[in-house]
Amino acid sequence: MTIITIKRANVLYFLEVFRTLVIRAIADFNKSRSYYKTVQEMYKLPPSLLKDVGLSRSNIRSKVYENTYGGRQEQP
């Protein structure tokens, strides 16, 4: 009886870990997609509008990264 309970607990633990990994992967994918869509939209804006909001083309990616992921982008 104990062996069955332990095996069932291991399976349930594995399923919970797998579920968590899938949820994180989906969230990461959605953040990534949001980042790239936002960058594309920002590059379509005219320079005058970017200047009005305090941005330039050179810092679009870093500002969108900070907004999407909540931190600064590491430079290689």
Domain-located, residue 25: yes
Parent domain of 6: 2-69
Domain-located, residue 76: no
Residue 46 phi, psi dihedral angles, 5° rounding: -70, 155
Domain count for the chain: 1
Q: Which two structure tokens, joined as six digits, stand for 2?
A: 């104990």
Domain-located, residue 58: yes
The beta-carbon contacts of 43-47 under 8 Å, at least 24 apart in sequence, are none
What global pTM score does this model have? Answer: 0.72
Domain-located, residue 75: no
Each residue's pLDDT expressed in tens, for the chain with a length of 76 residues: 555 556 777 888 889 999 999 999 999 999 999 999 999 999 999 999 999 999 999 999 999 999 998 876 565 4
